[in-house]
Amino acid sequence: MQDTRTLILQANYHAMRRHGFQGVRPDKVIAALGVTKGALYHYFPSKKDLGYAVVEEIISPAYLGIWGDIQTKNDHPIDQVQTLLNVLLHPAKTDDIALGCPLNNLIQEMSPLDEGFRNRLAAILKAMHRSLAAGLKRGVANQQVKPSVNPDAAAWMILSAVEGAFGLSKTFQDGQLMADTFIQLQDYLHTLRA
Amino acid sequence: MQDTRTLILQANYHAMRRHGFQGVRPDKVIAALGVTKGALYHYFPSKKDLGYAVVEEIISPAYLGIWGDIQTKNDHPIDQVQTLLNVLLHPAKTDDIALGCPLNNLIQEMSPLDEGFRNRLAAILKAMHRSLAAGLKRGVANQQVKPSVNPDAAAWMILSAVEGAFGLSKTFQDGQLMADTFIQLQDYLHTLRA
DNA sequence: CTTGCAACATACCAACCAGTATGTATATCT
DNA sequence: AGATATACATACTGGTTGGTATGTTGCAAG
């Protein structure tokens, strides 16, 4: 019973990655699945609500799963971030680079257009930042990170560089830009160590 | 004679900033100007060609004007970048932050959808990077920048952080994220000095 | 002066698109 | 068994959208 709903959600998530929210034609997306409009509007009152559900049920858990660990685990925070960068870099196949970061994509497209999207996306970003900054604060307390480091600012810098690299890489076929940026980011992270 | 064409271009540039290329309705945009479809399709064969013209005639010159100086002038490159960051940060009023960087916006939206956009946007990015990297190389030669610095990688890192900060800031009302990121970026830039 | 072309304006159109109205099969509750 | 709700399918609609076809006006060259 939940199967069709999940199918609709995931297919539209992929369509949103490629075409943006405005570019998605939900009926065409589900038609490719053999599902009809009856099912679509049975589960989702409107296209916008479908978009919100994609953010809440697919995008949000994915990002919190990746970045949340920094806050909960007790490892060296710089090690954690450096590991995370390698994780992000490695599975970045051509398609991932070409389609970019789903969170970033939606922020750019929908933030100025719709408060519902903006608030949901901002909440994800804040949670990512909170986890990263908490890790850095813990590092300062444990003398793993220089006491001069401003954890909040450093966390925004790291997130900006990562998302920026993903974003700019979309214009090129290869992942060279991202690899270069991440190498420099590793150097920067090293300067934060105590 | 060029007046109406310029008017159409600029109005659509602003519309593209807010709604993205796909979200723009060119006839509505020009209707607000008192111009009709006859003029629009007289100057531009299609919506897509209008979009290309916005990139080539408005966005490209704006960015090359800002970043090109680093290559042509002979000042200390790190000083130049730090000055540029302050310039970018200061006029970043609420609206600039809410609407984000036009180049970044278009990259995110159109790169996976249209080669014409992708190539034009990639060319702008490459030119920005070329100028910045050239400045850093000059700095290495002049012993203003550490010889261990990889100019190409550092240039991508700087551009990624700047564009990333612009992008992420769109979800929030204020410019705090951008200010924080730029402060950290200034620190990073300082570590590049010889 | 008339021919021709640039610079628009107006009217129209076919495809599209989000959403609705209605129908139906099946399962569940009473 | 009958009533009700869930889970869809089908057909339709009204507004929108990008684009075209067909004027009209003014000006400049021959």
Q: What angle do CA A57, A136, A97 make, to 5 degrees?
A: 50
Cβ-contact A108, B104 below 8 angstroms? yes
Q: What's the rounded Cα separation, in Å, for the pair A78 and A154?
A: 11
Tell me which nucleotides of strand D come within 7 A of a protein CB. Answer: 6-12, 16-23
Q: What's the rounded Cα separation, in Å, for the pair B145 and B81?
A: 13
Mean confidence (pLDDT) of chain B? 93
| Cβ-based contacts of B118 with chain A (< 8 Å) | 171
Tell me which nucleotides of strand C come within 7 A of a protein CB. Answer: 6-12, 16-23
Q: Please judge whether A100 and B113 are an interchain contact, meaning their C-beta atoms are less than 8 angstroms apart.
A: no
Query: For the segment A172-187, what is each residue's pLDDT rounded down to a tens digit?
Result: 988 889 999 999 999 9
> What are A145's strand-pairing partners?
A193
Query: For the segment A57-86, what is each residue's pLDDT rounded down to a tens digit?
Result: 999 999 999 999 998 999 999 999 999 999
Tell me the backbone φ, ψ of residue A8, rounded to 5 degrees: -60, -50
Pick B180's closest partner by Cβ from A153, A167, A188.
A153
Q: Closest nucleotide to residue B36 (Cα to C1')? A: C9
Once rounded to an integer, what is the mean pLDDT over residues A109-116? Answer: 96
Cβ-contact A81, A70 below 8 angstroms? yes
**Which residues contact residue B180 at a Cβ distance below 8 angstroms, ignoring those fewer than 6 apart?**
A150, A152, A153, A156, A157
Looking at residue B29, its pLDDT comes to 96
Q: Is pLDDT of B2 > 70?
A: no
Q: Please judge whether B160 and A156 are an interchain contact, meaning their C-beta atoms are less than 8 angstroms apart.
A: no
Structural tokens at position A190: 């090293």
Looking at residue B1, its pLDDT comes to 45
Q: What's the rounded Cα separation, in Å, for the pair A66 and A61?
A: 9
What is the share, in percent, of chain B residues with pLDDT greater than 70? Answer: 97
Q: Is pLDDT of A91 > 70?
A: no
Categorize the per-residue pLDDT at B194 as very low, low, confident or very high, splitting at 50, 70 and 90: confident
In this complex, the answer to whether residue B1 has its CB under 7 A from any atom of chain C, a nucleic strand, is yes
| Cβ-based contacts of A18 with chain B (< 8 Å) | 112-113
Pick A111's closest partner by Cβ from B121, B153, B171.
B171
| Cβ-based contacts of A152 with chain B (< 8 Å) | 180
Q: Please judge whether B125 and A156 are an interchain contact, meaning their C-beta atoms are less than 8 angstroms apart.
A: no
In this complex, the answer to whether residue B35 has its CB under 7 A from any atom of chain C, a nucleic strand, is yes
In this complex, the answer to whether residue A151 has its CB under 7 A from any atom of chain C, a nucleic strand, is no
Residue type, A49: D
Looking at residue B101, its pLDDT comes to 93
Q: Is pLDDT of B45 > 70?
A: yes
Tell me the backbone φ, ψ of residue B120, rounded to 5 degrees: -65, -40
Categorize the per-residue pLDDT at B91 as very low, low, confident or very high, splitting at 50, 70 and 90: low
In this complex, the answer to whether residue B19 has its CB under 7 A from any atom of chain C, a nucleic strand, is no
Give A16 CA → C24 C1' in Å: 32
Categorize the per-residue pLDDT at B18 as very low, low, confident or very high, splitting at 50, 70 and 90: very high
Q: Please judge whether A183 and B153 are an interchain contact, meaning their C-beta atoms are less than 8 angstroms apart.
A: yes
| Cβ-based contacts of A20 with chain B (< 8 Å) | 20, 22, 109
Pick B112's closest partner by Cβ from A18, A181, A187.
A18
Q: Please judge whether A108 and B153 are an interchain contact, meaning their C-beta atoms are less than 8 angstroms apart.
A: no
Helix, coil or strand: residue A25: coil
Q: Please judge whether B181 and A107 are an interchain contact, meaning their C-beta atoms are less than 8 angstroms apart.
A: no
| Cβ-based contacts of B23 with chain A (< 8 Å) | 22, 113
Q: What's the rounded Cα separation, in Å, for the pair A165 and B186?
A: 18
Residue type, B130: R
Once rounded to an integer, what is the mean pLDDT over residues A108-113? Answer: 96
Q: What is the 3-state secondary structure (H, E, C) of A38-55?
A: HHHHHHCCCHHHHHHHHH
Mean confidence (pLDDT) of chain A? 93
